[in-house]
Structure 1
Amino acid sequence: MKNRIRIALAGNPNVGKSTIFNTLTGSRQHVGNWPGVTVEKKSGFATVGNTEIEIVDLPGTYSLTAYSVDEVVARDYIIEERPDVVIHIVDATNFERNLYLTTQLMELGVPLVMALNMSDEAEKKGVTINPSRVKEYFEIPAVKTVGSRGEGLNELLRTAIAEAGTSPHHEHSIGYGNEIEQHIANLIIALKTDPVLTAHYPPRWMAIRLLEGDEKISDEIRSSPAFDAITRELAKIDLTLTEAAMADRRYELIAAFMPQVCPTCVRGMSASDLIDHVATNRYLGIPIFLALMWGAFQLTFAFAAPFTSAINFAMNALGSAVTAGIRPEWLASFINNGIIGGVGTVLGFVPNIFILFLILAILEDSGYLARAAFVMDRLMYSIGLPGKSFIPMLIGFGCNVPAIMATRTIEDRKDRLITILINPFMSCGARLPVYVLFAGVFFPHSAGTVIFFLYVLGIVIAILSAKLFRLTILPGKPAPFLMEMPPYRFPTGRTSLVHMWDRGSMYLQKAGLVIFGIAIIVWGLASLPLGVAYGSEGSYVGILGHVIQPVVAPLGFNWKITVALIFGFMAKEVVIGSLGVLYGVGENHVALGSALHADPTLSAVTALALLVFVLIYVPCMSSVAVIKKETGSWKWTVFSVLYGLVIAYLAALAVVHIAPFFIGGA
């Protein structure tokens, strides 16, 4: 008669867990979903001697803190289904990083075996892990494996079968210091007053999870007779500080064991470590990030200027030739102000956008932007924004559409929804043409600083909005941010140029289709009804502007600015094209700048209020469409649009009243 045991495979993402699972089970596997969630469930069978083994492949996860669906699925299976043994698959080339999950698996009190996978690659790098020392210090049998070639897998299964017959013996391996251990002991006493609860969950593990603020475990005890005693004990504790102290203790344990278990893993500080010591410093990290962003915008403005001037000169010459050589006049106006004006609007700001994307690509390829996400996580987490949100926020500097789609990597629904709602405040490349024009005209000596201010303001509004949403409509605790830091490297010119082109071409594609079409629509509205002066107050576009202008009059916007903002709902680049049509200068950005500067209804204060309004209100109709798609809700889509409009209006109004104290009223 065959024996039968059940094994669960656990491990970080990308450690070769699926490869080992497929090699062990072959065609004897089943794929479905875990109950109640869309996370994939894989199970299969293997046979060793007279033992049949059911193998369950748990979702890859960096920890078991239950902040994500994958973490909840993995730990609930281990606790509730109680497999006979858990095989923890670690990447031997990144041994130390994988051990944090090991310490959490140990606390579950289940028989454990460690698979030192990719051991061949580790040895090529000079990393030698001693399996007998792992057994000695962690009380976990360890087996070297190469999952891709099946090496060590038979030994791994035999070791797991032997370990399955043992009792848990390492759940107390981590000591958290006298104060925390006393809290754990008090919580265990309280928990044991509910025998039903302690029969289902290990008491010490529950006490640890309560000290780390685990919401799922907190919900489990609400109906328990132990609830009052547990609540009194937790009221004595600062859970945030305790959670951090417990995480530090796990890392201290790992650091203490590493020289004995893997002497070759211990190394001195590398050049990358030295740079990180400064770049990710608690106090220096954010100022360094802001300084680099300020420098990026200053360089963008400085290097793009000659290219922009050349494009404007060429488009102006072409427009003049059309005006002089084509009749009737309405056709010349259509070609010059409509077609050439639309194309000129697209091309005139290509240098600024491509240079900014090139600088961001260099920062990304060097490995710095990953550090920027880590640095900003400390601030974002403290105000209720999940750390993972910073990656879509960075993408939003290019375009809000792919940035909103990138929120799919955020597991928690509330975290993901908050990130979607705040992403429109990230200043996408489409807004840059408006910034460049108005900052260059009204702030010629500090244009880069003004543009930098707008980008920072977008981040600030996003963060404050996230805090507001977290406290009101979407309460809860954000998930912690875990990501693997890429090494610092010198970016290659080819790679950075490819990244620049990928993002810049998105602007060109969108601009070519949308801006060109809107420019022609604006030309038509500015030319009709027949007989009125082009772009005058008597044209359809002038009538539209005058109807809506009283609403934005407190912001200092004239009817032409009002019309441009209306068409800016389609795409922010259209604002410039619309103004070119309305001021009768077409694609000539120099002439448009002169016309704006000469307009007595406009001032530096009005220009700054306009820039703030453009920053905050709806980025474009494409963004609205993708918000609807990603949230699956018209309610959240409409809320996003209306919230942006209200905040934009209030912020611009604040600029009108506050800015004169700093820049004067002229």
Structure 2
Amino acid sequence: MSSHAPSCHAAETGRSAPVGSPIVAFVGAPNGGKSTLFNRLTGARRVMGNWPGTSVEIGRGSWRMGDRTVDAIDFPGTYSLDPLSPDEELTRNLLVEVPLEERPDAIVVVADASHLARSLYLVAQVAEQPYRMVVALTMNDVAERRGVSVDAVKLAEQLGHPVIELDPRRGTGLESLADALTASLDAPAPARPARTAPEGSDFDRADARFAWIDDAVASAVVESEQDRTKTERIDSLLLHPIIGPLAFLGVMWLVFQLTTAVAAPLQDGLDALFTGPIANGATAGLEALGVAHPLVVGLIVDGLVTGVGTVLTFAPLMAIMFCLLALLEDSGYMARAAVVTDRLMRTIGLPGKAFLPLIVGFGCNVPAVSATRVLGDAKQRILTALLVPLTSCSARLAVYVMLAQTFFPENAGSVVFAMYLVSILLVVLTGLALRSTLWRAMGSSALVLDLPTYQRPQPRLVAQVTWMRLRGFLQTAGGIIVVTVMIVWLLQALPASGGHAIGEVPPTESWYATISSWLAPVFAPAGFADWRAVGALITGFLAKEAVISSWAQTYAVADPSTLDPTGQGVSALADQLRMTFDTASGGHPTLAVIAFMLFLLAYTPCVATLAAQKREIGLAWTVFGVVLQLALAYGLAVLVFQVGVLIL
């Protein structure tokens, strides 16, 4: 083995369990309930991070088992210890290649009772190593509906390791799992594996494992004849070549309609809170402290409160979106969506499996770039990582909604939905273009994906997933936005020429306006050659959420009285935006704002995404992607505006 192989005991940074706690690895196939079980056991103590020495992301957290705390590690999903991707290679290295003293103290192998034979192949491979092992048997209710009954006691006798039936979604069987693992940890470490690794070639070893699996299944599983299940009946429609894609579009349209309709009154309430009591309270507090200097008031009130507050008004929007997507995921529908869209991907020659990272990209581009590691081919990873920034992340959603509600108030949901359709179209067409030029010889691969049984979403799990994603969004956006707000405020407070004191600069004579004005003429063909619109795009390079905060700051500095005459900050900001785009476009504000939204969709992603791309595909390909995205965004924006003007 390589001397640089990672070790489970080598990385102490970021661990939430006490140093020296037993290390327990969770392994299993995708869609078998492994991560659901891990999240249920670790709860809020779960942390994410890259494994030291690699760029593979894993979950890590503490699991309290009575008086004992263990350091739990959620390894990437894998069907076996024969790696086909960097994720699976890390799992094999940590379980097989490292010295015994550097391996986990115990392993929980999650096995799907409804696909037991397939799940047991990984169990067979782990059993060939000297490990304390507990098999967590999930999906038992699904197996029963399919007429499959698994005798956990007989299965444990065949495997030589404890087998615990549990349901991580409902939280049943967790105490039994803790008891079994505690007993295993208290027992001496096994001196030899539970079963001997088969001799011979790879095919001989595989045949021996399958024979062992057949014996275990024959002794522990009873199957009965069943009529076609409800899942199969639903899939006959949702996976239909014609009905399936139409149903997918209908579901996503409904998601965006509900998001924009429900979030609007909540956003108005939060906006009134920030632009009214909080802003007034901050001003009064500064006066009471005797620090009501224009610079301080400008930084705190016009900068932090206005900028950050405007972005936080979109928290309900993100929460509703995350909740609806979590409902679709927990019900089992999102896996079907991947299958439906995969057909299109393979039709145009893109790798089928590449759709999984692209799906993640609609939440956030950063983990989506990291998720390209599931692809075994290096060319496929590069191509997919270049396409990920074209998927419209949730940060862009807040900007879409603001502009849609401002310029298309009666059809805001449909406009936002259309932006996501354009995003998918750009991914497909750009991927086809790159495939036809740079990667002509690259073969496509079919999507291999377990389709979970349809099930009623669990409110606790939906709430947990929604909160985790919302918290991650706010934490990531919060830090970046605070820095961005400070930079924008400073540039707005600094005069570009003499005659003005710092903090008392007319907006058009600040360095922020000057820098933005230098670039604004470039966007005249696209219809938004205004320094305020261009300045927002510049700050959007740091984080797309910062587009809104930069506008809030810009217009607050430009004319505070118009921003908050009646406590309706977003309404006044919308009025300012309408005037800006109307003037810049020569009377075609609708076309200009569409061009702006398309540019926002396609241009360079945030710096965090670029950092992830550099880590995954290297600097040269990252720079290539930036140039490609800027050219695509500019060309698309100019084309739409110029053609629209000619038609109208």
Structure 1 length-normalised TM? 0.63
Offset, 1:601:
2.4
The answer for the alignment partner of 1:135 in structure 2 is none
Q: CA deviation at 1:406?
A: 1.4
State how 1:463-502 maps to structure 2 within 5 Å.
Answer: 463-474=428-439, 475-502=441-468
2:634 maps to 649
The equivalent of 1:506 in structure 2 is 472
Aligned CA RMSD, in angstroms, stands at 4.4
Decide whether the 8 Å contact of 1:323 with 1:333 is kept in 2: no
Q: Using the alignment, how far apart are the partners of 2:462 and 2:136 within structure 1?
A: 31
Q: Identity across aligned pairs (percent)?
A: 34
- Mark the runs of 5 or more structure 2 residues left unpaired by the alignment: 1-27, 33-55, 57-76, 90-110, 122-134, 151-156, 164-193, 208-220
Q: 1:334 aligns with which of 282, 292, 299?
A: 299
Q: Which residue of 2 aligns with 1:540?
A: 511
Instruction: Give the one of 594, 607, 611 matched to 1:621.
Output: 607
For residues 121 and 521 of structure 1, the distance between their equivalents in structure 2, rounded to whole angstroms, comes to 51
What secondary structure does 1:582 align onto?
A: helix
Which residue in 2 is equivalent to 1:572? 544
User: Structure 1: how far apart are the matches of 2:362 and 2:463?
Assistant: 17
The equivalences for 1:522-541 within 5 A come to: 522-529=488-495, 531=500, 534=505, 536-541=507-512
Paired with 2:638 and 2:240, the residues of 1 have a C-alpha distance of 37
Structure 2 match to 1:267: 226
Q: CA deviation at 1:278?
A: 0.8
2:566 aligned with 1:597, yes or no? Answer: no
Distance 1:395 1:440 in 2: 26
> Highest CA radius of gyration, 1 or 2?
1
Cα distance between partner residues in 1 of 2:366 and 2:539 = 19
Partner of 1:611: 597
Aligned to 1:297: 256
Indicate whether 1:345 and 2:310 are aligned.
yes
* Pairing 1:7-18 to 2, within 5 Å after superposition: none
Q: 1:94, CA displacement in angstroms?
A: 5.2
Contact 1:526 1:541 in 2 (8 A): yes
Q: Deviations over 1:394-446 (max 9, x none)?
A: 22121111111112122121111111111111111111121111111111111
Query: Structure 1 residues 523, 480: CA separation in 2 closer, same or farther (over 3 Å shift)?
Result: same
1:280-300 deviations in whole A, cap 9, x for unaligned? Answer: 111111111111111101100
The offset of 1:145, in angstroms, is: 4.6
**Whole-angstrom distance in 2 between the partners of 1:334 and 1:434:** 23
Corresponding letter in the other structure for 2:463: L
SS at match of 2:509: coil
Letter in 2 for 1:313: A
Structure 1 CA distance, aligned partners of 2:87 and 2:480? 41
Q: Contact 2:481/2:543 (CA < 8 Å) preserved in 1? A: yes
Correspondence 1:389 to 2:354: yes
1:299-322 CA-to-partner distances (Å, cap 9, x unmatched) read 000110111001110111132455
Whole-Å Cα distance in 2 between the matches of residues 409 and 537 of structure 1?
Answer: 49
State the SS of the aligned residue for 2:584: coil
Question: Are 1:279 and 2:245 matched, yes or no?
Answer: no
Please give the alpha-carbon distance, in whole angstroms, between the structure 2 residues aligned to 1:15 and 1:429. Answer: 24
Is the CA contact 2:271–2:310 (under 8 Å) kept in the aligned structure 1? no
CA distance in 1, matches of 2:301, 2:256: 32
Q: Give the residue type in structure 2 aligned to 1:519.
A: V
Rounded Cα–Cα distance in structure 1 between residues aligned with 2:138 and 2:341: 37
Kindly provide the amino acid, as one letter, of the partner of residue 238 in structure 2: A
Q: 1:118 to 1:544 in 2, by over 3 A?
A: closer
Q: Confirm or deny: 8 A CA contact 2:507 2:513 kept in the other structure.
A: yes
Separation in 1, partners of 2:87, 2:601: 36
The corresponding residue for 1:409 is 374
Q: Which position in structure 2 is the counterpart of 1:46?
A: none
Q: Does 1:454 align with 2:423?
A: no
> Relative to structure 1, is the Cα distance of residues 377 and 128 closer, same or farther in structure 2, using a 3 angstrom cutoff?
same
**Residue 531 of structure 2 corresponds to which residue in structure 1?**
559
Query: Compared with structure 1, are the counterparts of its residues 497 and 553 closer, same or farther at alpha carbon in structure 2 (3 Å cutoff)?
Result: same
Return the offset for 1:264: 3.4
**Distance change in 2, residues 1:299/1:273 (3 Å):** same
Aligned to 2:66: none
Q: Deviation of residue 536 (structure 1)?
A: 2.3
Go from structure 1 to structure 2 and tell me whether the alpha carbon gap of 1:352 and 1:266 turns closer, same or farther (over 3 Å shift): same
Note the C-alpha offset of 1:462. 0.9
- 1:67-216 maps to which residues of 2 (within 5 A)? 127=148, 145-146=158-159, 148=161
Structure 1 residue 589 displacement after superposition: 2.0
- Describe the shift of the 1:464–1:328 C-alpha distance in structure 2 as closer, same or farther (beyond 3 A): same
Unaligned runs of 5+ in 1: 1-11, 17-37, 39-58, 73-90, 102-116, 130-143, 151-155, 171-261
Write the distance in 2 (CA, Å) between the matches of 1:444 and 1:70: 45
The yes-or-no answer on 1:419 pairing with 2:384 is: yes
Provide the C-alpha distance between the structure 2 equivalents of 1:338 and 1:365, rounded to a whole number of angstroms: 40
- Contact residue 518 and residue 574 of structure 1 kept, 8 A: yes
- Aligned counterpart, 2:181: none
Label 1:630 to 1:147 Cα distance change in 2 as closer, same or farther (>3 A).
farther
Cα deviation for residue 330 of structure 1 reads 3.2
Moved more, 342-351 or 372-381: 342-351
Q: 1:384 to 1:71 in 2, by over 3 A?
A: farther
Letter in 2 for 1:649: Y
Q: How many residues were matched structurally?
A: 473
Cα-to-partner distance string for 1:22-77 (whole Å, 9 max, x where unaligned): xxxxxxxxxxxxxxxx9xxxxxxxxxxxxxxxxxxxx9769x9x9979999xxxxx
Q: 1-side partners of 2:138 and 2:300: how far apart?
A: 67
User: For 2:365, which of 387, 394, 400 is the aligned residue?
Assistant: 400
Letter in 1 for 2:433: L
Name the CA shift for 1:351/1:157 in 2 (closer, same or farther; >3 Å).
closer
Pair 1:494–1:15, CA change in 2 (3 A): closer
Which whole-Å CA distance do the structure 1 matches of 2:139 and 2:571 have between them? 60
Q: Give the partner amino acid of 1:420.
A: A
Q: In the TM superposition, what is the alpha-carbon distance from 1:343 to its structure 2 partner?
A: 2.0
CA distance in 2, matches of 1:387, 1:308: 39
Q: How far does residue 14 in structure 1 lie from its aligned partner after superposition?
A: 8.8
Q: How does 1:179-258 map to 2 (within 5 A)?
A: none
**Alpha-carbon distance, 1:346 to partner:** 2.7
CA drift of 1:547 comes to 0.9
Instruction: Give the Cα–Cα distance (whole angstroms) in 2 for the partners of residues 68 and 495 of structure 1.
Output: 29
Q: C-alpha displacement at 1:464, in angstroms?
A: 1.5
